[in-house]
Structure 1
């Protein structure tokens, strides 16, 4: 077979090669999924510093536990599960309050790693519109920090990263109904925080006449700059 016909190894093959002692395989696997893992870590933790720590914790765990992978889910699902769990562990242990601002260059990396709303990548016309869009995105990210960790993780994976509920259930190791419930409650709380509900309404029972109260959350694009673990 010529080099032109060579086929890149699958994720499962790379992970097995790592288990078998290939020193480069895990780095190749990480590089392949780096952007989305970083986007999930950043949105779950809320700022680049904590996200870098959470991502590195997760990658170290995945590196060490690779032999425990049994193939009951896709490798990408397993990687996300390990990284999300590492982030949630940090949130629970440190009771992280996300006070650090996100970087000012979020839009520079807009085409990498995740789903988003708020203008297309080429929409750089009106500075005033860009400022409003950036403020709206920041409000959503700030509001996420006030949610319980489990609701935050579900919303990040379903609404922002676009994973199907069935896969998120595997990542979070819970039932699909639990994912849906966490998303529903998280959206309702965000709607209150963002002023999308009429004053005085119960956050667990959003206004049926206001589709924004139960609509999926979309947020700012994530920077692509996770540090490479040592």
Structure 2
């Protein structure tokens, strides 16, 4: 992914959500050293930190938004915001938790903005399938894969993602972070700045809603 820092002209400031990225602890080993060097002014080391986390942040953004192109843009935005927020890095939890918090805020901002704009968009602007279709063609062109299996798998993935995208954002965030990204209850609670009990409650509601909507979708097919 191109380095977003080269295009960062202004400091976006603090996150607009109450999930403020202030208290995060260094991770272990090489990551801890890279963070220390960044804080000492060696900004080139931030590229290394990006490489260590960009796949996870992209996956988070894609599952939250459901569009690959937007997910790539939001991943870049999250790293730009993290770069500017790095001097406020304190040390209360893992660096990845701090980064997930920033990325989640970026996604929530995007969801709110999209909701405001959607009423003004045409059907062709709302469609998000173009990149998905290109990816599908690439897979179908792989002679080692059975075309029907590819189609079945893609349809299942598309159905799940479409339902995830209909969940309320607070449920969606918990479901994506815990069930898809594999974060613990404690980590999700830190990322979203909520209690573990609230994490479990929202996760249960999200799972029930996901199951119900998938069953409804199957009945319609």
Q: TM-score, normalised by structure 1?
A: 0.69
Matched, 1:99 2:127: yes
1:162 to 182, 194, 204: 182
Contact 1:191 1:197 in 2 (8 A): no
Find the counterpart in structure 2 of residue 140 from structure 1. Answer: 160
Contact 1:62 1:79 in 2 (8 A): yes
How many aligned residue pairs are there? 179
Following superposition of structure 1 onto structure 2, how do residues 10-49 of structure 1 map, counting pairs within 5 Å?
A: 10-49=30-69
Secondary structure of the equivalent of 1:140? helix
| CA spacing shift, 1:193–1:11, aligned 2, 3 Å | same
Contact 1:18 1:24 in 2 (8 A): yes
Find the counterpart in structure 2 of residue 58 from structure 1. Answer: 78
Displacement, 1:198? Answer: 11
Kindly provide the CA deviation profile for residues 119-153 of structure 1, in whole angstroms up to 9, marking residues without a partner as x: xxxxx553223211211111000111111111111
Displacement, 1:75? Answer: 0.6
Find the counterpart in structure 2 of residue 178 from structure 1. Answer: 198
Distance in 2 (alpha carbons) for counterparts of 1:103 and 1:50: 12
Superposition CA RMSD, Å: 2.8
Find the counterpart in structure 1 of residue 171 from structure 2. Answer: 151
Q: More helix per residue: 1 or 2?
A: 2
Identify which range, 65-74 or 44-53, moves more after superposition: 44-53
Kindly provide the CA deviation profile for residues 147-188 of structure 1, in whole angstroms up to 9, marking residues without a partner as x: 111111111111111111111111111111111111111111
Find the counterpart in structure 1 of residue 88 from structure 2. Answer: 68
Kindly provide the CA deviation profile for residues 171-229 of structure 1, in whole angstroms up to 9, marking residues without a partner as x: 11111111111111111111121116999xxxxxxxxxxxxxxxxxxxxxxxxxxxxxx
Displacement, 1:107? Answer: 11
| CA spacing shift, 1:152–1:79, aligned 2, 3 Å | same
Runs of 4+ in 1 over 3 A off after TM superposition: 96-99, 106-109, 196-199
| CA spacing shift, 1:60–1:140, aligned 2, 3 Å | same
Instruction: Specify every segment of 5 or more residues in structure 2 that has no aligned partner in the other structure, as ranges.
Output: 1-27, 119-125
Secondary structure of the equivalent of 2:215? coil
Kindly provide the CA deviation profile for residues 97-132 of structure 1, in whole angstroms up to 9, marking residues without a partner as x: 6631252437989xxxxxxxxxxxxxx553223211
Secondary structure of the equivalent of 1:11? helix
Contact 2:54 2:75 in 1 (8 A): no
Find the counterpart in structure 2 of residue 189 from structure 1. Answer: 209
Q: TM-score, normalised by structure 2?
A: 0.72
Matched, 1:81 2:101: yes
